[in-house]
Amino acid sequence: MLLYAAQDEYMARSEYLAIMKKFGTMRPFSNIARAEENHLAWLKDAYAAYAIAFPSDQSAAHLAIPATLLEAYKAGVQAEIDNIAMYDRFLATDLLQSAENKDFKVLFTNLRNASENHLGAFQNQLSRY
């Protein structure tokens, strides 16, 4: 779960940075890209707490940059929907129901909640089209 979360957060950050490189720096991409840095820092802390090496960023090999800004907003919406679903799946596992994994449950809940905020920001931009 930690590996999937780290790679997913890397992917989101890389995608939003690439979109801004193509279309210019703008909200909500700029705010959310910074938030992804925070999410990666939270994950790094979890890895460090368990003395696990943090994975390297493999996202560049998987980027697909939308052709238009409208497509970029739609991609942002879908990426956050997928991210929320991933964290919901993690949170539903028996593994995260045990007291010994409370820290992971809190971490994944916080990451899911942040994605819900990001989703709202992208939906707000999409509604302007």
Instruction: Specify the DSSP class assigned to residue 128.
Output: T
For residue 8, give the nearest of 123, 105, 115 by alpha carbon.
Answer: 115
Q: Tell me the average pLDDT across 12-19.
A: 92
Domains of the chain: 2-53+64-126 (1.20.1260.10)
Q: Phi/psi at 106 (nearest 5 deg)?
A: -65, -45
> Residue 95, CB half-sphere, CA atoms under 13 Å: how many?
8
Q: What is the pLDDT of residues 79-123, one digit of tens each?
A: 999 999 999 999 999 999 888 889 999 999 999 999 999 999 999
Instruction: Specify the DSSP class assigned to residue 64.
Output: -
Residue 26, pLDDT score: 87
Q: What is the pLDDT of residues 81-91, one digit of tens each?
A: 999 999 999 99
47-81 in b/e burial notation, b at 16+ Cβ within 10 A? beeeeeeeeeeebeeeeeebeebeebbbbbbebbe
Percent of the chain with pLDDT over 90: 82
Spell out where 26-85 has E strands.
none
pTM of the model: 0.89
